[in-house]
Structure 1
Amino acid sequence: MKTLLIVDASPNSATSNTRKLTAAYADAWLASNPGSRIIRRDVSGNAISQLSQDTIGAFYTPEDQRSEAQQQAVALSDELVNELFAADEVVLGSPMHNFSVTVGMKSWVDQICRVGRTFNYTEQGPKGELAGRKAVIVASSGGDYADGTPMAHLNHNDTYLKTVLGFVGITDVSLVSAGGVAMDAGVVDQAQEKLLALV
């Protein structure tokens, strides 16, 4: 049985383009992988807490030495990390907000980038521990920030997520972007066609 993890970051639950696209991908993936499971993680709004001093302290305390309060502080991060390790494939629905990821997506990243869990320091430098998985970044933006466009240098959504995924060991990454929705709503349908071709 295969497992797909979908992380949705758009705070717009009703008419989000990225949520529409990740839902379409999930349906097609499940049809191609009958009997498999999908983990859905909504990181919008306040669903994922920002790192606190207590959480960071718990990260760097050996598990068998953590106090009850530290165990509680790290519980969400452990849950999110376990979801990643359980997944064969990860889909990140990430709309661009002010040239970068949403606050929810950033909080998710901060919770899953864990030394000793998702990466380790070695003599050759940091080594990600999630190799062998496939990831798809599903992005959207009002303007067109794709490679080769005049505003490409302002796109810190796609580049950031590719960097994070690579850091934790996921290097098989595809990007499907609905860029320029404010000018042409048809780009969402075009993105969906490209996205479903990846299933």
Structure 2
Amino acid sequence: MTQILSIRTSLHSESAQSAQLAQQFIAHWQQSHGDARVVQRDLATDPVPHLTAKRFTAFATPASERTEEQTAEVAQSDTLIAELQASDVIVLALPMYNFGIPSTLKAYFDHIARAGITFRYTEHGPQGLLTGKRAFVLATRGGQYAGTDRDTQTRYVRDFLGFIGIDDVSFVYAEGLAISEAHRSTALQEAERAITTLAA
């Protein structure tokens, strides 16, 4: 059975517009592809701590040499990575905060980027190890930034996912949600049409 990893990153959790679009995508995907197991990761209700030197040192220490405390430090990262490894499809609900990604998502990324596990360095450059997966990003913004220099999200998220081996990444944008109610309605309708097409 296909496994979908749904990652909410908004501070508003399931009530966020990005989370609602993600749920729509998953519903359409299941209609088109059959039933799928959905694993929900909500970074608002279950946040990942920001990376510290202590935790990074635990990551870098070989498992056989870790102290009990270091093993406990690594456990959360191992759980997050296991979810990714077991998933075929990643659905990322992504609001824009001050031209960037939510800090909770950056903390999540810092915990899943593990040398020798999700990527490795070679003489030809880094090689991602989480291959064969598809990612769909439901990006919501109050203003209109796609295709402009102020859209720092798209390139960063695509580059990071590619770094760990997830190269098949599609974005759906719902922009200008804060401009007016009419603009919001139109943007959401366009996003929903894009979702229907992508999830087919």
Using the size of structure 1 for normalisation, the TM-score is 0.93
161, 165, 188: which one aligns with 1:169: 165
2:105 counterpart of 1:109: no
Q: CA deviation at 1:145?
A: 0.3
What stretches of structure 1 of length at least 5 have no aligned partner?
none
Tell me how far apart the structure 2 counterparts of residues 115 and 14 of structure 1 sit (CA, whole Å): 32
Q: Is the 8 A contact 1:45 1:103 kept in 2?
A: no
Q: List aligned pairs for 1:43-122, cutoff 5 A.
A: 43-44=43-44, 47-122=47-122
Q: Deviations over 1:145-172 (max 9, x none)?
A: 011xxxx101111211111001111111
Structure 2 distance, partners of 1:196, 1:76, is 34
**What is the identity, as a one-letter code, of the residue corresponding to 1:102?**
P
Measure, in 1, the Cα distance between the counterparts of 2:14 and 2:110. Answer: 26
Q: How far, CA to CA, are the matches of 2:140 and 2:76 in structure 1?
A: 27
Letter paired with 1:157: Q
How far does residue 85 in structure 1 lie from its aligned partner after superposition?
Answer: 0.5
Q: Deviations over 1:46-87 (max 9, x none)?
A: 611111222101111111211110111011111111111011
Instruction: Give the number of aligned pairs.
Output: 195
User: After the TM superposition, which of the residue ranges 8-17 and 18-27 deviates more from structure 2?
Assistant: 8-17
- Aligned counterparts of 1:20 and 1:83: Cα–Cα separation in 2: 21
Structural mapping, 1:17-28, within 5 Å: 17-28=17-28
Contact 2:8 2:14 in 1 (8 A): no
Query: Aligned in 2, Cα 1:134/1:61: closer, same or farther, shift over 3 Å?
Result: same
Cα distance in structure 2, aligned partners of 1:123 and 1:57: 24
Q: Which residue of 1 aligns with 2:152?
A: 156
Structure with more helix by fraction? 2
Which position in structure 2 is the counterpart of 1:185?
A: 184
Would the aligned equivalents of 1:94 and 1:138 in 2 still touch at CA under 8 Å? Answer: yes
1:74 and 1:14 map into 2 onto residues whose CA distance is 28
Counterpart amino acid of 1:160?
Y
Tell me the distance in 2 between the aligned counterparts of 1:27 and 1:46.
23
The alignment's TM-score, normalised by the length of structure 2, stands at 0.93
- 1:88: how far off? 0.5
Paired with 1:195 and 1:30, the residues of 2 have a C-alpha distance of 12
3-state SS in 1 of match to 2:13: coil
Q: Do 1:43 and 1:104's aligned partners in 2 also have CA atoms closer than 8 Å?
A: yes
Distance 1:74 1:24 in 2: 34
1:47 is paired with a residue whose SS is coil
Contact 1:44 1:105 (8 Å CA) reproduced: no
> What residue in structure 2 maps to residue 7 of structure 1?
7
Residues 81-110 of structure 1, C-alpha deviations (whole Å, 9 max, x = no match):
111101111111110000000011111111
CA contact (8 A) 2:13 2:45 kept: no
Measure the CA separation in 1 of the matches of 2:39 and 2:33: 14
